[in-house]
Amino acid sequence: MANPVATFNTSEGTFTCEIYLDTMPVTASNFIALANEGYYNGLTFHRVIQNFMLQFGCPHSKDPKSSRAGTGGPNGGTTYNTPDGKTITRDRGGNIPDEFVAKISNEPGTLSMANTGQPNSGGSQFFVNTVHNSFLDWFDKSTPSQHPVFGKVVDGMDVVLAIQSVRTDGSDKPVKPVVMNSITMA
């Protein structure tokens, strides 16, 4: 069975990503469930750093001026299912278990779970790498960063690179908000 594909329809254009459900079932299923609920629709990229990454997925970013953008996630106690039928319950902070199983590097175009640096602190936020950020790999012990990859851009990398080039303020927020109109799964 082929992995699902997510279409990201943004205010700057569309890009598509393969979601690694086969190798990252806990993380990928979380993303798929949130996308299918419409969770990401209307949110903005709240952190964009040229030659690094684009961060997205905080519910507070629906208001692009919110100082809380980058601090939120899904409701705690909510659930989703993995392909093998296992039910995963997000903790009270809306976080999911870390999934350190597939040694997939944070290469350009990959989707990676954002977290606070603490174990099991990823929820809905993720980032798109625009360069090879191997120091963020969970298996690279040169830094404490541990960000598992769960997908990769397969079409529209030009849109990702255009988003990374937008003008940002001192907090790395785009001056003109970049909106996620919708994410659809196929």
One of 41, 50, 52, 161 is an active-site residue; which one? 52
**CA 22/CA 95 separation, integer angstroms:** 21
> Which one of the listed residues 31, 56, 111, 147 is annotated catalytic?
147
Asked whether 98 and 146 are in contact (CB, 8 A), the reply is: yes
User: Considering 15, 34, 136, 146, which one is annotated as catalytic?
Assistant: 136
Query: Any catalytic annotation for residue 52?
Result: yes
Annotated catalytic residue: which of 30, 55, 125, 133?
A: 55
27 in Cβ contact with 148 (< 8 Å): yes
Question: 147 catalytic, yes or no?
Answer: yes
Whether 92 sits among the annotated catalytic residues: the reply is no
Facing residues of 153 across strands?
17
Q: Decide if 127 is catalytic.
A: yes
Active-site position among 8, 45, 127, 150: 127
Establish whether 164 is a catalytic residue.
no
Active site (annotated) includes residue 8: no
Measured CA to CA in angstroms, residue 102 lies from 21, 92, 109, 143, 183 at distances of 11, 26, 17, 18, 24
Catalytic residues: 47, 52, 55, 115, 127, 136, 147
